[in-house]
């Protein structure tokens, strides 16, 4: 049953995307070129609606009466409504943030999705988050939702990176025998892949905030369902799975702090901008970031099988490599190169 549902979900996404493209032009959900955008013509940007409708069809066929996912779907509906309104009217950031908080609150208080504790990595016992459990959960959902949105800057980028993350989450859920996460992640994966056919460079349609926010929200919730209340090691796994969008978001925050800019201020120094500035073509940049996302996925799988000290060493290596890569391509600004300067100093010495 699940395999037939996946096929139908994929076909539905392929068939719906051109219809959504027409709808986007009709209602004015378009993206106009400006100095921050890389496209040069008006583009429809409601594509996430095709992903959402195809996914919901899959949910209806696969598990129409399962009450456990109702809060998640209601939260998703809130996110999609906010996304559609933003794609048409360009909502203020404050309104979008309130919508994201509302969706997270629905999942936490109605759905009971909450990271309450993790096992201590250095012995027996557990670390109980207590009163911080709810804020941590809400921060995770809102943070990942925006991380996917921030990386949505090139044709096929957010859809491809999200697909790799969903594939990895589904794969990890197989190891953990979590059939619910396997099914939901797989349905969302095929709906996204159907849309990606029209979104890969040169794109015929953008997913817009409707798609980027919905994918971010669902990935955040699925990772919590798969890895909540487990060991410290497993708690880091979803962070690794989402390594590309999360690291890009973190570097963007630090970059704006260093430049004394508001954290929400837009700029052209995200990962994809820096790779384009380094001389890579549009398609090369997207494929390179896909490869990076796949590497993070493999690291997450290796990390899940590692012993405590091996896991700590792996994280240390990943952090150093991330910092070096960020300094080389200028993610924190062209003049911010503390690690590179130190290495060059030792080399000259």
| pLDDT tens digits, one per residue of 130-160 | 788 899 889 989 999 998 988 888 899 999 9
Phi, psi of 182, deg, nearest 5 = -55, -50
Whether residue 296 contacts residue 244, with contact meaning beta carbons closer than 8 Å, is answered with yes
The number of beta carbons lying within 10 Å of the beta carbon of residue 278 is 12
CB 270 within 8 A of CB 333: no
Helix (H), strand (E) at residue 245: helix 243-258
User: For residue 38, what are the contacts with CB-CB under 8 A and spacing of at least 6?
Assistant: 153, 154, 276, 282
- Confidence at 238, pLDDT banded by 50, 70, 90: confident
Share of the chain above pLDDT 70, in %: 89
pLDDT at 305 over 50: yes
> Of 190, 198, 143, 142, which is closest to residue 166 (Cα–Cα)?
190
Q: Tell me how far apart the alpha carbons of residues 241 and 220 are, in angstroms, rounded to a whole number.
A: 11
The reply, when asked if residue 128 is annotated as ligand binding, is no
Number of Cβ atoms within 10 Å of the Cβ of 306: 15
More confident residue, 96 or 253: 96
pTM, whole model, 2 decimals? Answer: 0.88
From start to end of the chain, where are the E strands? 30-31, 43-44, 117-119, 126-128
User: What is the distance of C-alpha 62 from the center of its chain?
Assistant: 24
pLDDT one-digit tens code per residue, 11-55: 999 999 999 999 999 999 998 876 655 556 889 999 999 999 999
Smallest CA-to-CA distance from 42 within 23, 59, 24 is with 24
Q: What is the pLDDT of residues 66-85, one digit of tens each?
A: 667 889 999 999 999 999 99
> Is position 178 annotated in a ligand binding site?
no
**Predicted pLDDT at 231:** 47
């Amino acid at each position: 049953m699940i395999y037939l549902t996946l096929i139908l979900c994929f076909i539905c996404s392929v068939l719906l995307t051109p219809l959504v493209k027409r709808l986007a032009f009709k209602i004015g959900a378009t993206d106009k070129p400006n100095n921050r955008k890389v496209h040069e013509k008006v583009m429809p940007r409601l594509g996430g609606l095709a992903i959402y409708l195809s996914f919901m069809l899959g949910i209806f066929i696969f598990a129409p009466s399962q009450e456990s996912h109702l809060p998640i779907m209601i939260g998703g509906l809130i996110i999609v409504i906010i996304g559609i309104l933003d794609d048409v009217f360009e909502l203020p950031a404050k309104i979008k943030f309130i919508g994201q908080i509302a969706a997270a609150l629905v999942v936490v208080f109605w759905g009971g999705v909450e990271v309450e504790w993790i096992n201590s990595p250095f012995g027996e016992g557990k670390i109980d988050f207590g009163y911080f459990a709810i804020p941590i959960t809400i921060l995770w959902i809102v943070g990942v939702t925006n991380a996917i949105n921030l990386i949505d800057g090139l044709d096929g980028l957010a859809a491809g990176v999200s697909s790799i993350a969903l594939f990895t989450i589904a794969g990890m859920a197989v190891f953990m025998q979590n059939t619910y996460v396997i099914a939901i992640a797989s349905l969302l994966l095929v709906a996204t892949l159907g849309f990606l056919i029209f979104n890969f460079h040169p794109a015929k349609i953008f997913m817009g905030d409707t798609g980027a926010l919905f994918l971010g929200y669902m990935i955040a919730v699925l990772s919590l369902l798969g890895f909540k209340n487990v060991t410290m090691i497993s708690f880091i796994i979803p962070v690794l799975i989402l390594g590309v969008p999360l690291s890009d978001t973190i570097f963007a925050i630090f970059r704006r702090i260093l430049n004394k800019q508001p954290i929400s201020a837009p700029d052209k120094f995200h990962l994809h901008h820096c790779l384009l500035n380094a001389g890579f073509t549009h398609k090369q940049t997207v494929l390179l970031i896909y490869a990076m996302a796949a590497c993070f996925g493999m690291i997450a799988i290796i990390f899940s099988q590692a012993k405590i000290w091996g896991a700590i060493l792996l994280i240390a290596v990943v952090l150093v490599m991330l910092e070096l890569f960020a300094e080389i391509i200028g993610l924190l600004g062209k003049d911010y190169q503390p690690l590179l300067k130190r290495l060059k100093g030792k080399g000259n010495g």
